[in-house]
Amino acid sequence: SNPTTYITTCPECHTELIRNEGEAQHYCPNTKGCPPQIIGRIQHYISRKAMDIEGLGGETVALLVKNGLIKNYADLYQLVVEELIPLERLAQKSAENLVKGINLSKEIPFERVLFALGIRYVGETVAKKLAKHFKSIDALMLASEEELVLVDEIGERIARSVVHFFTEEENRVTIQRLKDHGVQLKISDEQLADQTDILLGKSFVVSGVFTKVSRIELKKLIEDNGGKVSSSISGKTSFVVAGDNMGPSKRTKAEGLGIPIISEDDFLQMIS
DNA sequence: ACGTAAGTTCGTAACGTCCT
DNA sequence: AGGACGTTACGAACTTACGT
């Protein structure tokens, strides 16, 4: 039987939206002409967990788009100070900072660039998984749905979305432009050199604050060495790495399950 | 030179959905 | 069913540009 469909129009660009019964959300398919989408994609690209471009925030992105200076994130790399100065809220100083920030983003590692691209269902962690598995955007672009599903943690929905993203000509062009500007679209040699399999199959929970490495670095060390970081303790947790002010409920739970609680030093010892 | 307003950063928490 | 993930929202501290 045919599912009921609901038809509405996008309040922003008045494109027709079709949603099938049972689908939780519908997205405006007008990816090229819907202004909030154009701005939103760039805002995501520059955001903290993605390319983290300092000097550029959501409002400034909207300003740049509205003034016709950029239409997608690859355009950012062609901005020059002079054309920014006439804009509201931007003067010499901010314009320089902005261009500087954009240039610095060329050093952002591949996994975050992959997240920044804005492929649906590819968030921060899925991007990491894909980056680790495929090592480069070229390899990822060649992967079929079948190959993608074989990757741990990647299901049908994500696989379909990834393949779809790369079939769009516009996306391939944008990616080529990023590549030409020197954005990291493959895992760097240094990154590869830092990776080991020491912690393969081990699952970690991190709790508290640490002195020698930051919480973020600690998680990165776990992942780079083949381990998995989870947010909550379960029977599958191998170790809890505890810093200062470890959450008391976590401590109780770990003790209850008999999971070893190790210190920052213990952990660093493990991987050295 | 100073205060204000706007924007950004950083931490956190909650919620609904997806994966296994 | 349980855990993980993506998304959104919020607030507080900090930075910067701009008007007086």
The CATH number of whichever domain residue A185 belongs to comes to 1.10.150.20
The answer to whether residue A196 is domain-embedded is no
Residue closest to B16 C1′ by Cα: A24
Same domain, yes or no: A3 and A89: yes
Amino acid at A42: I
Alpha-carbon distances of A187 from A34, A109, A111, A129, rounded to whole Å? 33, 7, 8, 12
Q: What percent of chain A has pLDDT over 70?
A: 73
Domain boundary, last residue among A163, A191, A219:
A191
Q: Assess whether A236 and A183 both reside in one domain.
A: no
Can you give the residue range of the structural domain that contains A162?
Answer: 110-191
3-class secondary-structure state, position A239: strand
Let me know: does A212 contact A264? Beta carbons within 8 Å: yes
Asked if A163 and A232 sit in the same domain, the reply is no
A161 CB closer than 7 A to any strand C atom: no
Q: Say whether both A216 and A234 belong to one domain.
A: yes
Residues A97 and A152 in one domain: no
Same-domain pairing of A216 and A181: no
Q: Per the structure, how many domains does chain A have?
A: 3
Query: Which nucleotide has its C1' atom closest to residue A63's CA?
Result: B7
pLDDT for res A173: 93
> Same domain for A255 and A208?
yes
Pair (A118, A92) in one structural domain? no
Residue A247 contacts residue A208 (beta carbons within 8 Å): yes
Protein CB footprint (7 Å) on chain C nucleotides = 2-7, 16-18
The integer distance in angstroms from the CA atom of A41 to the C1' atom of C15 is: 25
> Above 90 in pLDDT, residue A208?
no
pLDDT tens digits, A66-87: 777 888 888 888 887 777 777 7
Whether residues A141 and A233 fall in one domain: no
Q: Under a CB-based contact definition with an 8 Å cutoff, are residues A107 and A184 in contact?
A: yes
Domain annotation covers residue A198: no
pLDDT tens digit sequence for A26-71: 556 666 677 777 777 887 787 777 777 766 777 777 778 777 788 8
**Is residue A140 situated within a structural domain?**
yes
Q: How far: A244 CA to B19 C1' (Å)?
A: 33
A178 and A235, same structural domain? Answer: no
Residue–nucleotide distance: A185 CA to B4 C1' (Å): 43
CATH number at residue A207: 3.40.50.10190
| Same-domain pairing of A52 and A77 | yes
- Residue A197 within any structural domain of the chain: no
pTM, two decimals, is: 0.80
* Same domain flag for A136 and A224: no
Q: What's chain A's Rg over C-alpha atoms?
A: 22
pLDDT score at A180: 93
* Tokens linked to A232: 């909550």
Q: Is residue A207 assigned to a domain?
A: yes
Identify the pLDDT of residue A11. Answer: 63
User: What's residue A24's pLDDT?
Assistant: 40
